[in-house]
Chains A and B, each alone.
Chain A
Amino acid sequence: MKEKKYLLLLIMTTISLFGASEDEIKQSENFYNKSLSELLNTETELKANVGSRNGERDLLLSEVPIDVITSEQIRQSGSSELSQILERYVAGFNFPRPSINDGTDHSRPFTLRGLNPDQVLVLINGKRLHQSSLLNMNGSVGRGTSSVDLNTIPIASIERVEILRDGAAAQYGSDAIAGVINIILKGYGHQNQITATYGQTKENDGKMGRTDLFYSIPLKYDGFFNITTEYRDRGATNRAGADRRQLYPDGDPRNDLKDPITMHYGDADTQDILFAINSEVVLDNSVILYANGIYNDRKSQAGAFFRSPRDSRNDVDIYPDGFLPMIAPKIEDYSLTIGTKDTLSYGIKLDLSYTYGFNDYHFYVKNTLNDSLGDTSPTSFDSGGTTYTQQSINLDISKKMNSFLVATGIELRNENYTIYAGEKDSYILGSHSKNAGAQGFPGFKPSNEVNANRNNAALYIDTKYNKNKNLLIGLAGRYEYYNDFGSNLDGKLSLSYKPVSKLLLRSTASTGFRAPSLSQSYYTSTTTGQEGDTLYETGTFGVNHPVAKDLGATDLKPEKSIHFSAGFILEPFSGVSFSTDYFYTTIKNRILLTDNITENVSPDVKTILNSYNIGRARYFSNAMDTRTQGVDIRLKYKYRFENHSKIKAMLAYQYNSTDITDVNTAPSILGDDGEKILLGDNTTLIEESQPNNSLKIYTQYIYGNIISKINLDRYGSYKTNWADKVYSFGATWTTDVEIEYNFKKIYSFAVGGENIFDTYPDKFEDTGSFFMSGNGVMPYSQHSPYGYNGAFYYIRLGIKF
Chain B
Amino acid sequence: MKTVYILLIAFIIPLFASNQERDLQAVFLGRFAKFIEWPQNNRDVFTITLINENPFEDLLDKLYIGKTIHGKKIKIKYVTDVKDIGLSDILFITLDDQKDVGKVIKYAQKHSILTISEQRGFAQRGGIIQLGFVMQKPYLVINYDSATKSKIKISSSLLAIAQDVIKEEAE
Size of A's binding interface in residues, CB under 8 A:
61
Across the interface, do A44 and B137 meet the contact criterion of CB distance under 8 Å? yes
Q: Would you call B124 an interface residue if the criterion is a C-beta within 8 Å of the partner chain's C-beta atoms?
A: yes
Interface segment among A81-89, A261-269, A282-290, A305-313: the answer is A282-290
Q: What residues of B have a CB within 8 angstroms of the CB of A577 in the complex?
A: 17
Q: What residues of A have a CB within 8 angstroms of the CB of B18 in the complex?
A: 23-24, 27, 58, 61
Across the interface, do A220 and B161 meet the contact criterion of CB distance under 8 Å? no
Q: Would you call A259 an interface residue if the criterion is a C-beta within 8 Å of the partner chain's C-beta atoms?
A: no
Across the interface, do B136 and A501 meet the contact criterion of CB distance under 8 Å? no
Q: Would you call A343 an interface residue if the criterion is a C-beta within 8 Å of the partner chain's C-beta atoms?
A: yes
Q: Would you call B135 an interface residue if the criterion is a C-beta within 8 Å of the partner chain's C-beta atoms?
A: yes
Q: What residues of A have a CB within 8 angstroms of the CB of B16 in the complex?
A: 20, 23, 60, 501-502, 571
The minimal Cβ–Cβ distance linking B26 to chain A, given in whole angstroms, is 5
The minimal Cβ–Cβ distance linking B7 to chain A, given in whole angstroms, is 6
Q: With the chains together, A365 CA to B8 CA distance in Å?
A: 69
Interface code A427-448, partner B: CB below 8 Å = 1, 0 otherwise?
0000000000000000000000
The minimal Cβ–Cβ distance linking A81 to chain B, given in whole angstroms, is 23
The minimal Cβ–Cβ distance linking A221 to chain B, given in whole angstroms, is 3
Size of B's binding interface in residues, CB under 8 A:
50
Known A25-B62, A36-B31, A36-B161; contact A159-B135, beta-carbon cutoff 8 A: yes
Across the interface, do A574 and B24 meet the contact criterion of CB distance under 8 Å? no
Interface code A155-178, partner B: CB below 8 Å = 1, 0 otherwise?
000010000000000000000000
Known A5-B4, A571-B17; contact A28-B121, beta-carbon cutoff 8 A: no
In the complex, the chain B residue whose C-beta lies closest to that of A224 is B120
Q: What residues of B have a CB within 8 angstroms of the CB of A479 in the complex?
A: none
Q: With the chains together, A716 CA to B39 CA distance in Å?
A: 68
Q: What residues of A have a CB within 8 angstroms of the CB of B170 in the complex?
A: none
Known A9-B8, A39-B31, A44-B21; contact A220-B15, beta-carbon cutoff 8 A: no
Across the interface, do A60 and B17 meet the contact criterion of CB distance under 8 Å? yes
Across the interface, do B26 and A23 meet the contact criterion of CB distance under 8 Å? no
Q: Would you call A641 an interface residue if the criterion is a C-beta within 8 Å of the partner chain's C-beta atoms?
A: no
Q: With the chains together, A513 CA to B122 CA distance in Å?
A: 43
Cβ-defined partner of A190 (8 Å) among B26, B121, B135, B158:
B135
Across the interface, do A12 and B63 meet the contact criterion of CB distance under 8 Å? no
Known A36-B31, A282-B120; contact A574-B15, beta-carbon cutoff 8 A: yes
A219-277 contacts to B (CB < 8 Å): 220-223
Q: Would you call A40 an interface residue if the criterion is a C-beta within 8 Å of the partner chain's C-beta atoms?
A: yes
Q: With the chains together, A27 CA to B15 CA distance in Å?
A: 6
Q: Would you call A30 an interface residue if the criterion is a C-beta within 8 Å of the partner chain's C-beta atoms?
A: yes
Please classify the interface of chain A as helix (H, G, I), strand (E, B), loop, or mixed, using the class held by over half of its residues: mixed
Q: What residues of B have a CB within 8 angstroms of the CB of A8 in the complex?
A: 4, 8
Q: Would you call A642 an interface residue if the criterion is a C-beta within 8 Å of the partner chain's C-beta atoms?
A: no
Known A16-B11, A61-B19; contact A28-B27, beta-carbon cutoff 8 A: yes
Q: With the chains together, A7 CA to B4 CA distance in Å?
A: 11
Cβ-defined partner of B158 (8 Å) among A12, A36, A70, A189:
A36
The minimal Cβ–Cβ distance linking B3 to chain A, given in whole angstroms, is 10
Across the interface, do A9 and B4 meet the contact criterion of CB distance under 8 Å? yes
Q: Would you call A534 an interface residue if the criterion is a C-beta within 8 Å of the partner chain's C-beta atoms?
A: no
In the complex, the chain B residue whose C-beta lies closest to that of A284 is B98
Across the interface, do B120 and A30 meet the contact criterion of CB distance under 8 Å? no
In the complex, the chain B residue whose C-beta lies closest to that of A72 is B135
Q: What residues of B have a CB within 8 angstroms of the CB of A25 in the complex?
A: 59, 62-63
Across the interface, do A41 and B137 meet the contact criterion of CB distance under 8 Å? yes
Q: With the chains together, A61 CA to B21 CA distance in Å?
A: 13
Q: Would you call A724 an interface residue if the criterion is a C-beta within 8 Å of the partner chain's C-beta atoms?
A: no
Q: With the chains together, A469 CA to B55 CA distance in Å?
A: 12
B1-56 contacts to A (CB < 8 Å): 1, 4, 7-8, 10-21, 23-24, 26-28, 30-31, 35
Q: Would you call B167 an interface residue if the criterion is a C-beta within 8 Å of the partner chain's C-beta atoms?
A: no
Interface code B86-114, partner A: CB below 8 Å = 1, 0 otherwise?
00000000001111000000000000000
The minimal Cβ–Cβ distance linking A404 to chain B, given in whole angstroms, is 14
Known A42-B137, A43-B137, A501-B16; contact A573-B10, beta-carbon cutoff 8 A: yes
Q: Would you call A37 an interface residue if the criterion is a C-beta within 8 Å of the partner chain's C-beta atoms?
A: yes
Cβ-defined partner of A573 (8 Å) among B11, B97, B134:
B11
Q: With the chains together, A9 CA to B9 CA distance in Å?
A: 10
In the complex, the chain B residue whose C-beta lies closest to that of A283 is B98
The minimal Cβ–Cβ distance linking A137 to chain B, given in whole angstroms, is 42
Across the interface, do B137 and A28 meet the contact criterion of CB distance under 8 Å? no
In the complex, the chain A residue whose C-beta lies closest to that of B140 is A40
Q: With the chains together, A575 CA to B136 CA distance in Å?
A: 15
Q: Would you call A31 an interface residue if the criterion is a C-beta within 8 Å of the partner chain's C-beta atoms?
A: yes
Across the interface, do A221 and B125 meet the contact criterion of CB distance under 8 Å? yes
Q: What residues of B have a CB within 8 angstroms of the CB of A285 in the complex?
A: 98-99
Across the interface, do A188 and B134 meet the contact criterion of CB distance under 8 Å? yes
Q: Would you call B168 an interface residue if the criterion is a C-beta within 8 Å of the partner chain's C-beta atoms?
A: no
Q: Would you call A29 an interface residue if the criterion is a C-beta within 8 Å of the partner chain's C-beta atoms?
A: yes
Q: What residues of B have a CB within 8 angstroms of the CB of A189 in the complex?
A: 132, 134-135, 139, 163
In the complex, the chain A residue whose C-beta lies closest to that of B131 is A40
Q: Would you call A32 an interface residue if the criterion is a C-beta within 8 Å of the partner chain's C-beta atoms?
A: yes
In the complex, the chain A residue whose C-beta lies closest to that of B67 is A32
Q: Which of A25, A71, A284 has the most CB of B within 10 A?
A: A25
Q: What residues of A have a CB within 8 angstroms of the CB of B31 in the complex?
A: 32, 36, 39
Across the interface, do B4 and A42 meet the contact criterion of CB distance under 8 Å? no
Cβ-defined partner of A29 (8 Å) among B21, B63, B163:
B63
Across the interface, do A32 and B30 meet the contact criterion of CB distance under 8 Å? yes
The 25 listed contacts between A and B (C-beta, < 8 Å) are A9-B7, A24-B23, A25-B62, A26-B15, A27-B18, A31-B23, A36-B161, A37-B161, A42-B137, A43-B136, A44-B24, A45-B17, A58-B18, A188-B120, A188-B134, A189-B135, A189-B139, A221-B124, A222-B124, A286-B96, A286-B97, A571-B16, A571-B17, A573-B15, A574-B13
By a beta-carbon cutoff of 8 Å, the part of chain B in contact with chain A is 1, 4, 7-8, 10-21, 23-24, 26-28, 30-31, 35, 57, 59, 62-63, 96-99, 120-121, 124-125, 132-141, 157-158, 161, 163
CB-based closest 7 A-B pairs: A221-B121, A60-B17, A189-B134, A574-B15, A222-B120, A24-B18, A44-B20
Q: A16-B12, A24-B59 are in contact. List 5 more A-B contacts (CB 8 A).
A: A31-B23, A46-B136, A571-B15, A573-B15, A574-B14
By a beta-carbon cutoff of 8 Å, the part of chain A in contact with chain B is 5, 8-9, 12-13, 16-17, 20, 22-32, 36-37, 39-47, 57-58, 60-61, 70-71, 159, 188-190, 220-223, 282, 284-286, 343, 347, 469, 501-502, 504, 569, 571-575, 577
